[in-house]
Amino acid sequence: MDYDLEERAARFGEDAIDFARALEKDVINRVFISQLVRSATSIGANYMEANQASSKKDFRNKICICKKESNETKHWLRMIAKANKNKEKECRTLWKEAHELTLILSKIARSCKR
């Protein structure tokens, strides 16, 4: 089986969008939804940019941005779980995937010399 990180990151963003659509649109969730969708979808967008990088330094920079976005996504999922006790299981599942992406991206970033 081929391992396609670009596809995995894109699907994660899509899953985050689907999850966000299912949340109640109250005053607290509106902020969380916006932040979650931005950070979760940015992982894939920046990974696509990394794959078209003009240099090794540019590639590493984009990968580090991906890693930051995946970490930020974990934060927003934690906040959503706190504000929406009935969504804790879904948050945990998405958080786990964001964490795995963070670990993968960290490994890629470490493998690139500065």
Residue 1, pLDDT score: 38
Domain that holds residue 73: 5-111
pLDDT above 80 for 113: no
pLDDT above 70 for 9: yes
pLDDT digits (tens, 9 = 90+) for 60-78: 999 999 999 999 999 999 9
Residue 100, pLDDT score: 97
- Residue-averaged pLDDT of the chain: 95
Largest CA distance in the chain: 45
Q: What angle do CA 114, 73, 112 make, to 5 degrees?
A: 15
Count up the domains in the chain and report the number: 1
Domain of residue 100, CATH code = 1.20.1440.60
pLDDT above 90 for 3: no
Q: What is the DSSP letter of 87?
A: G
